[in-house]
Amino acid sequence: MTALLTISGLTVSFGSFTALDGVDLTVHEKELRFLIGPNGAGKTTLIDVVTGRTRPDAGSVVFAGADITGLSEHRVVRAGIGRTFQTAAVFEALTVADNVDLAASFRMPAHRLLRRRDRSSVPEELDRVGLAHLAGRRAGELSHGRRQWLEIAMLLAQKPGLLLLDEPVAGMSAAERERTGELLTAIAEETTVLVVEHDMEFLRRHARAVTVLHEGRVLAEGDPDAVRADERVAEVYLGR
**Site residues (CB under 6 A) for ligand ADP?**
14, 17, 19, 37, 39-45
Contact 62, 81 (CB under 8 A): no
Other beta carbons within 10 Å of 190: 11
Distance CA 139, CA 80 (A): 25
Considering only CA atoms, which of 26, 3, 90, 1 is closest in space to residue 218? Answer: 26
User: How does 115-150 read in b/e, with b if 16+ C-beta sit within 10 Å?
Assistant: eeeeeeebbebbebbebbebbeebbeebeebbbbbb
Q: Which CA distances in Å does 108 have to 32, 118, 170, 203?
A: 25, 16, 30, 34
Kindly tell me which of 13 and 185 has the beta carbon lying closer to ligand ADP. Answer: 13
Contact 159, 80 (CB under 8 A): yes
Smallest gap from Cβ 9 to ligand ADP, in A, equals: 17
Kindly tell me which of 104 and 213 has the beta carbon lying closer to ligand ADP. Answer: 213
Kindly tell me which of 100 and 219 has the beta carbon lying closer to ligand ADP. Answer: 219
Smallest gap from Cβ 73 to ligand ADP, in A, equals: 15
Distance CA 10, CA 61 (A): 8
Contact 6, 67 (CB under 8 A): no
Kindly tell me which of 40 and 222 has the beta carbon lying closer to ligand ADP. Answer: 40
Distance CA 80, CA 76 (A): 7
Smallest gap from Cβ 20 to ligand ADP, in A, equals: 8
Smallest gap from Cβ 137 to ligand ADP, in A, equals: 32
Kindly tell me which of 41 and 150 has the beta carbon lying closer to ligand ADP. Answer: 41
Smallest gap from Cβ 14 to ligand ADP, in A, equals: 3
Kindly tell me which of 161 and 171 has the beta carbon lying closer to ligand ADP. Answer: 171
Smallest gap from Cβ 27 to ligand ADP, in A, equals: 17
